[in-house]
């Protein structure tokens, strides 16, 4: 505890659900936070920006506990700030729009605590935008109002003047109003709105779980009840809803609504997940492997010491490049140590990884299978080849090189270790309940480890309920050895090609 200073509180708007919609300043606050008090609907992805040592405290409020929890949150902010901590109060949407941010700041002011407000994108703006509904438009609406759908807004002493609001603005957006659609429609039509006024409900806006329901003031309540439509949602009321059919974009993405499991190592999973999400998919990260450099690797140190003596150095993965280069720097060397050695890079991502450290590969094979790579390389007789690789790696590449007369030195530089399978039971339930559409595998080890995690739970039964995507032939073979069918495999072994092939697969099946 630092008694010499008082901390500071940042009220940060996290945005409407899509973690990428937080502001840059919001991310900056999270990166230096010592304490984060976060709301119920905050994406876990945002908490990954926090320092590892930060204290992350759930501050969500469920029905019936709002007042008590709010008092606890206020006390917690004061306590942590008085301990000299940098506190981020991470709130959904915007802190000052139906977020009780004003109340929390008043508590800080009364206690003399320094604070800053970092605005966020509110769901009333974002959810309609992701549904293809502009809240204003020259031909349809020149005014908009935000209204709470809480039950208190219909009390006799409610400050909301429905009799004036009904016709005073063109577009109305109601927060969390699904449970009171009957009353909303009644109040608006009673005070002058046409029963034909278009209405759109947007559930979990800006996320892959987004759902929409369209109707009018006359029938939207009945439709919502029939569809079992639930909060969190916004209700958009007005003529601007007529533009949705032309302007919808998010729920028209090729993988929208598809739930896809990514099994590669967590350090690499985010890039693949980001590609799938750009196509509209909802990704579930379930890493089955972890990449660990081999420590005290004397064989690698010796190879680096005589690196320029090799004729070829072959990198088959980004992992190999990054771990090899890290060890090169540990040995007080850099890319000049390669000397006359030529560089072979397998796959576009490996090429990019080499480019980042200032190396342009001399040869990039057209295929990723070991035997095919060896066949494409020429004049290997008596040539010395260094192959940094995983401890457990296919033998087809070094064997193919040796068959062509090369002197191959394959040095393991990292292990692919099976993870603990955290979240296995939840994933299994999702698959068995048909809530998962596809499981992706990007290496043979991801297949093997996945199956071992479910070994006592009949993986062939579990995976038979989903589509399976494999990044390349060797991964596909591992799937087939488990008695399973591969539904998707690209011609090029890269996550970009795999994602595109998944898009094509669902395009054909739709």
pLDDT digits (tens, 9 = 90+) for 297-314: 999 999 999 999 999 999
Q: Check residue 456 and give its pLDDT.
A: 60
The answer to whether residue 33 is domain-embedded is: yes
Q: Which of these three, 73, 100, 121, is where a domain ends?
A: 121
CATH number of the domain that 398 lies in?
Answer: 3.40.50.10090
Helices vs. strands in the chain: H and E counts, helices first: 20, 19
**Same domain for 16 and 55?**
yes
Q: How far, in Å, CA of 172 to CA of 135, rounded?
A: 8
Q: Which CATH number belongs to the domain containing residue 18 in this structure?
A: 3.40.1010.10
Please compute Rg for the chain using Cα positions: 28
Do 131 and 247 have their domain in common?
yes
Considering the domain architecture, whether residues 410 and 437 belong to the same structural domain is answered as no
Same domain for 137 and 283, yes or no, is no
Kindly tell me if the per-residue pLDDT of 510 is higher than 60: no
Residue 156's nearest CA partner among 135, 187, 198 is 187
Q: Is residue 3 part of a domain?
A: no
Helix (H, G, I), strand (E, B) or coil at 455: helix
Q: What are phi and psi of 379, to 5 degrees?
A: 55, 55
Q: Which residue of the set 8, 25, 61, 211 is catalytic?
A: 61
| DSSP code at position 423 | T
- Do the Cβ atoms of 321 and 352 come closer than 8 Å? no
Q: Examine residue 224 and state whether it is found in any structural domain, yes or no.
A: yes
Looking at 39, 311, 396, 415, which residue is catalytic? 39
352 and 495, same structural domain?
A: no
The stretch 473-487 carries a mean pLDDT of 90
Number of domains in the chain: 4
Of the residues 176, 211, 251, 253, which is catalytic? Answer: 176
Tell me the pLDDT tens digit for each residue of 55-82: 999 987 665 566 668 889 999 999 999 9
pLDDT at 1: 44
Percentage of the chain exceeding pLDDT 70? 95
Shared-domain flag, residues 212 and 266 = no
What are the tokens at 346? 């397998």
Q: Is 60 inside any structural domain?
A: yes
Domain that holds residue 313: 293-418
- Name the E strands within 109-232: 114-118, 144-148, 171-175, 198-203, 211-216
Using 50, 70 and 90 to split pLDDT, how confident is the model at 509?
A: low
Q: Mean pLDDT over residues 220-249, rounded?
A: 96
* 398 in the same domain as 375: yes
Statement to judge: residues 388 and 501 lie in one domain: no
Q: Are residues 310 and 410 in the same domain?
A: yes
Same domain flag for 243 and 141? yes
d(CA 474, CA 445): 10
Q: What is the pLDDT of residues 363-419, one digit of tens each?
A: 999 887 788 888 889 889 999 999 999 888 888 899 999 999 999 999 999 988 777
Q: Is residue 1 part of a domain?
A: no
In angstroms, the Cα distances linking 316 to 319, 350, 351, 389, 418 are: 8, 7, 10, 7, 21
Percent of the chain residues topping a pLDDT of 90: 65
76 lies in some domain? yes
Most confident option among 201-205, 314-318, 451-455: 201-205
Asked if residue 413 lies in contact with residue 324, where contact means CB atoms within 8 angstroms, the answer is yes
Confidence of residue 156 (pLDDT cuts 50, 70, 90): confident
Taking the C-alpha atoms of residue 468 and residue 486, their distance in angstroms, rounded to an integer, is 5
pLDDT, the chain, mean: 90
The yes-or-no answer on residue 61 being catalytic is: yes
332 and 364 in a single domain? The answer is: yes
Domain finish residue from 121, 139, 162: 121
Whether 2 is in a domain gets the answer no
150 contacts 230 by C-beta, under 8 angstroms: no
State which of 121, 137, 171 marks the end of a domain.
121
Question: What are the CA-CA distances from residue 125 to residues 146, 489, 495 (Å)?
Answer: 9, 39, 33
Q: Are residues 330 and 391 in the same domain?
A: yes
């Amino acid at each position: 505890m630092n008694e010499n200073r008082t901390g500071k509180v940042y009220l940060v708007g996290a945005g409407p659900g899509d973690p990428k919609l937080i502001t840059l300043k919001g991310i900056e606050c999270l990166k230096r936070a010592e304490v984060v008090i976060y709301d119920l609907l905050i994406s876990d992805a945002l908490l990954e920006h926090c320092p590892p040592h930060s204290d992350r405290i759930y501050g969500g409020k469920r029905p019936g506990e709002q007042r008590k929890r709010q008092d606890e949150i206020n006390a917690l902010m004061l306590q942590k700030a008085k301990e000299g901590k940098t506190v981020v109060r991470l709130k959904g949407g915007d802190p000052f729009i139906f977020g009780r941010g004003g109340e929390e700041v008043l508590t800080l002011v009364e206690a003399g605590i320094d604070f800053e407000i970092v605005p966020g994108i509110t769901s009333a703006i974002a959810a309609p935008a992701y549904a293809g509904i502009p809240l204003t438009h020259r031909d349809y609406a020149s005014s908009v109002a935000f209204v709470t759908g809480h039950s208190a807004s219909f009390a006799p002493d409610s400050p909301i003047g429905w009799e004036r609001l009904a016709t005073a603005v063109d577009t109305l957006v109601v927060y969390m109003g699904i449970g009171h659609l009957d009353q909303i429609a009644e109040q608006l039509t009673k005070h002058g709105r046409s029963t034909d006024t278009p209405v759109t409900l947007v559930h979990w806006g800006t996320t892959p779980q987004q759902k929409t329901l369209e109707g009018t003031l006359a029938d939207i309540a009945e439709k919502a009840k029939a569809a079992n439509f639930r909060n969190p949602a916004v209700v958009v009321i007005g003529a601007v809803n007529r533009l949705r059919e032309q302007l919808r974009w998010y729920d028209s993405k090729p993988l929208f609504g598809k739930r896809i499991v990514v099994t590669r190592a967590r350090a690499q999973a985010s890039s693949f997940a980001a590609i799938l999400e750009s196509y509209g998919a909802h990704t579930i990260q379930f890493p089955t492997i972890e990449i660990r450099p081999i420590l005290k690797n004397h064989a690698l140190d010796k190879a680096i010491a005589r690196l320029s003596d090799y004729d070829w150095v072959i990198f088959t993965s980004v992992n190999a490049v990054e771990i090899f280069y890290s060890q090169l720097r540990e040995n007080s060397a850099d890319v000049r140590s390669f000397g006359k050695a030529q560089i072979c890079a397998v796959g576009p991502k490996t090429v990019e990884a080499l480019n980042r450290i200032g190396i342009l590969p001399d040869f990039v094979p057209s295929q990723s299978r070991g035997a095919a790579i060896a066949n494409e390389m020429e004049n290997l007789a008596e040539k010395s080849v260094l192959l940094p690789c995983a401890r457990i790696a296919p033998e087809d590449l070094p064997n193919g090189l040796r068959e062509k007369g090369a002197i191959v030195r394959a040095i393991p530089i990292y292990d692919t270790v099976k993870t603990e399978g955290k979240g296995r039971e939840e994933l299994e339930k999702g698959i068995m309940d048909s809530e998962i559409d596809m499981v992706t595998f990007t290496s043979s080890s991801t297949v093997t480890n996945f199956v071992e995690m479910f070994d006592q739970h009949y993986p062939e039964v579990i995976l038979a309920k989903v589509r399976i995507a494999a990044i390349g032939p060797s991964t596909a073979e591992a799937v087939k050895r488990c008695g399973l069918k591969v539904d998707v495999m690209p011609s090029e072994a890269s996550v970009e090609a795999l994602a595109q092939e998944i898009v094509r697969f669902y395009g054909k099946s739709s």
